[in-house]
Amino acid sequence: MIVGTRGSELALTQTNYIRNRLFDLTNNEVETKIIKTTGDKITTSQLYNMDSKGLFTKELDRAVLEEEVDFAVHSLKDVPTELNEDLEIAAVPIRESPNEVLVSNYSWEDLKKGSTLGTSSLRREAFCNMYEKGLELKPIRGNIGTRVEKVLDGEVDATIMAEAGLNRLGLTECIKNRFSLDYLTPPAGQGALAIITRKDSPVKDTIRKLNHYESEQEVLAEKTVLKELGIGCQWPLGSIARVNGSELSLYSILLTQKGEILHKAKLKSSIGEAEDLGKKLARDMKEFI
């Protein structure tokens, strides 16, 4: 098998995790093909100021469609809600932490008015404004290591990142604070991986063995909210679902860029009703878009 992946350290780490899992299953090595995406080539723009649909995935998905690779590994939060009709998410492996964390020499409480916080996320910007800390928000781009270095070098006082990426790269010592899921709600799919194959792929059944049902249902509920609302990162929306036994809870919050809460809602259902739960919550939120 051949896997397509982006070339960043995080993407390769995630892909190697999947390669190792597949080797354990099949005793066969998986070849890696690195593919540069549009998002990798853009280093200056705020992502929410541009059409970001498939920004980090479309070139990889094209390689799967054209059978240059057998499958691709994505961060699930980057996967558009509408896939090509010939593709599918064959597996969602067990989810890493979906939480957001602060990377800084200062704690969240000690960041004073006027402190600089680097972010290119409209959602993170909105949450910072909601808490009225008076932070100076600056655009920051680059891979995880680059953004951490910008904080350590004093280019900005702090940044907010996904805990999952820092965990996967062994950079947990850089975490100053871990935010609760309701205090700083992550984007749909954060912490999860998506393995994309062709629907007619002969390796799909093998890939499917890596699926973690609870993680799959959590992200299905979250991404359904996005799909039903028809929005992307141009709206500050946080959405998180969690499984507890046979119960699935889903919480979403919609903000303005200035940090005003437009609407928030929390619903529960059985774990097997994830898509319906996402649709129901989206109906509650639609009038605020």
Residue 93: phi, psi to the nearest 5?
Answer: -65, 170
Question: Which among 40, 78, 182, 200 is annotated as catalytic?
Answer: 78
- DSSP bridge partners of 257: none
Is there a contact between 65 and 178 (Cβ–Cβ < 8 Å)? Answer: no
**Maximum Cα–Cα distance across the chain:** 57
How many other C-beta atoms are found inside a 10 Å radius of the C-beta of residue 51? 10
Question: d(Cα 264, Cα 133) in Å, to the nearest integer?
Answer: 21
Q: How far apart are the first and last CA of the chain?
A: 43
Q: Give catalytic status of residue 200 as yes or no.
A: no
- Supply the Cα-derived Rg of the chain in whole angstroms: 19
Question: d(Cα 189, Cα 83) in Å, to the nearest integer?
Answer: 15
List, by residue number, the catalytic residues.
78
